[in-house]
């Protein structure tokens, strides 16, 4: 793309995050190209394009392997909505660099020569491990509030420190983060969770005041003490940070990441200290499941993600009773569709606390020992079978079906014929309306 633009007499360079990643020795997730060509000229040069921001000079060029944003060098006018400039003026590379967020994202690279063009001191900050806003930090954050979260995310992701002036401005502007759409906030928080440095990211969010602004329920965990026998590591927030440290972007999806963050979100609301000094949190799983629904909706997560997060939180202590469960109850538990994710949440939770993984180990071993068809079989008795046997539909239908499924899980029968015989013998005296 750069070669084609240059062949037509335009200036063209790699820009932004891809330059940063290349200098860090990382493979960029995508590439951006900055050019002196206007949007219409870019569209004329490439067969497949989408005008994602043509009024700002931004064209997406569609490729076989990946798409690339090609943007005209520009300077921005006043930002009226803390996201978009009211107007833009097309300029040169130096002017374009000055409008960007952080110095490490403000460099250009010539892919033909590997020469870096740096008007903002980004290379020095990259080598020093420093996140610094370009120009006046307050002005950059007034332009786009999302940059407050992005500064924290970059510091966590790369293990960098935030330059003092930039940090002070993040702290000063923290409450204003709510000026932007929750969808943008949610996207950025999920990235912090899933880029491999969630513990440091959420620690910085707490220190800056951003956590209180976007997730007050999580901020409320700070200072909530726990009984040292189960949680020698410290308060609820300390425990949560230790859990976040164990998130693996390659193995853990967004539902599990959010469940790890929110699994103890109701502890501040349910904390009680008994006469013996023991601290309890009765009902925090159930209340946490309900709270998580509202939080996921606020962060504009999908319905499926919201349901999974809520279920994981509601059930994250069920493993404690597993060794005493009846066989049928245990199989029902281990047959839950999201059991693997639940057991991973349990492992992370326990490993960040008491370290006693015995009940988790029991569940893992029994899940492996049971053939899959034993824990998730198709029911051999259904409502149609009850009707065929002379049972009239009624409220007790569900009780009959549950009883039959438990018996099936415990091995009382293993084919439809014997299942019907079992049911007929079991309930011959209850025919008629099942009520």
Q: Which CATH number belongs to the domain containing residue 105 in this structure? A: 3.30.460.10
Structural domain ending residue among the three candidates 326, 355, 375: 375
Q: Is residue 162 part of a domain?
A: yes
- Say if 236 falls within a structural domain: no
Do 2 and 123 belong together in one domain?
yes
206 and 157, same structural domain? yes
Model pTM?
0.86
Task: With respect to residue 172, please indicate whether it lies within any of the assigned structural domains.
Answer: yes
pLDDT at 328: 86
234 in a domain, yes or no? no
Q: Are residues 7 and 122 in the same domain?
A: yes
Residues 389 and 406 in one domain: yes
Which residues neighbour 366 within 8 Å (Cβ) at sequence distance 6 or greater?
322, 330, 334
**Residue 416, in any domain of the structure:** yes
The residue from 128, 156, 180 where one domain ends is 128
Residues 365 and 407 in one domain: no
Residue 347 covered by a domain: yes
Q: How many domains does the chain have?
A: 4
pLDDT at position 181 is 94
Q: Is the Cβ–Cβ distance between 271 and 279 less than 8 Å?
A: yes
1 lies in the same domain as 119: yes
Q: Is 261 inside a domain boundary?
A: yes
Domain with residue 193: its CATH number is 1.10.110.30
Q: Give the tokens for residue 414.
A: 């293993």
Handedness of CA 234, 238, 244, 246 (dihedral sign): negative
Domain identity same for 111 and 146: no
Same domain, 118 and 182: no
Last residue of a domain, one of 194, 214, 234: 214
Q: Considering the domain boundaries, does residue 225 fall inside one?
A: no
| Rounded Cα distance, 82 and 142, in Å | 6
pLDDT along the chain (435 residues), means of 10: 95 96 94 94 93 84 90 81 71 93 97 96 98 96 96 98 98 97 97 97 98 98 91 93 96 97 98 92 97 98 97 97 93 91 98 95 94 74 76 74 78 79 68 47
Whether residues 366 and 389 fall in one domain: no
Domain that holds residue 410: 383-433
CA distance 192 to 200: 9
Residue 427: per-residue pLDDT:
63
Please indicate, yes or no, whether residues 113 and 189 belong to a single structural domain of this protein: no
Q: Are residues 198 and 255 in the same domain?
A: no
Q: Are residues 92 and 172 in the same domain?
A: no
- Two tokens, residue 402: 């549950």
């Amino acid at each position: 793309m750069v070669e084609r633009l240059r062949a037509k007499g335009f200036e063209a360079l790699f820009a932004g995050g891809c330059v940063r990643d290349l200098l860090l020795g990382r493979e960029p997730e995508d590439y951006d190209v900055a050019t002196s060509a206007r949007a219409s000229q870019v569209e004329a040069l490439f067969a497949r394009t989408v005008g994602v921001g043509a009024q700002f000079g931004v064209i997406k060029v569609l490729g076989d392997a990946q798409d690339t944003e090609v943007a005209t060098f520009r300077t921005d006018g006043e930002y009226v909505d803390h996201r978009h400039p009211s107007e833009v003026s097309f300029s040169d590379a130096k002017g374009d660099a000055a409008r960007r967020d952080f110095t490490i994202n403000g460099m250009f690279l010539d892919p033909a020569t590997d020469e870096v063009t740096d008007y903002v001191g980004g290379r020095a900050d990259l080598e020093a491990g420093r996140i610094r806003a370009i120009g006046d930090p307050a002005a950059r954050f007034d332009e786009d509030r999302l940059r407050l979260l992005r500064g924290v995310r970059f510091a966590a992701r790369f293990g960098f420190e935030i330059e003092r002036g930039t940090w002070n401005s993040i702290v000063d502007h923290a409450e204003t983060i709510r000026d932007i759409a929750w969808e943008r906030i949610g996207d950025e928080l999920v990235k912090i969770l899933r880029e491999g440095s969630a513990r440091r990211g959420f620690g910085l969010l707490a220190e800056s005041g951003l956590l209180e602004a976007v997730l007050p329920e999580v901020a409320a965990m700070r200072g909530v003490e726990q009984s040292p026998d189960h949680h020698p590591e410290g308060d609820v927030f300390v425990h949560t940070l230790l859990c976040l440290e164990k998130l693996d972007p390659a193995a853990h999806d967004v539902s599990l990441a959010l469940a790890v963050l929110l699994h103890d979100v109701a502890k501040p609301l349910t904390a009680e200290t008994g006469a013996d000094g023991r601290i309890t949190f009765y009902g925090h799983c159930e209340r946490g499941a309900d709270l998580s629904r509202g939080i996921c909706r606020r962060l504009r997560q999908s319905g499926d993600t919201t349901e999974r997060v809520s279920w994981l939180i509601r059930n994250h202590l069920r493993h404690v009773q597993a060794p005493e469960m009846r066989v049928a109850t245990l199989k029902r538990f281990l047959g839950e569709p999201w059991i693997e994710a639940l057991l991973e949440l349990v492992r992370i939770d326990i490993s960040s606390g008491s370290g006693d993984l015995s009940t988790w180990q029991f569940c893992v071993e029994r899940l492996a020992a049971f053939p899959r068809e034993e824990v998730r079989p198709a029911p051999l008795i259904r409502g149609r079978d009850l009707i065929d046997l002379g049972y009239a539909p009624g409220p007790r239908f569900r009780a009959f079906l549950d009883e039959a499924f438990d018996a099936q899980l415990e091995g009382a029968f293993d084919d439809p014929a014997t299942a019907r015989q079992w049911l007929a013998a079991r309930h011959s005296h209850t025919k008629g309306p099942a009520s």
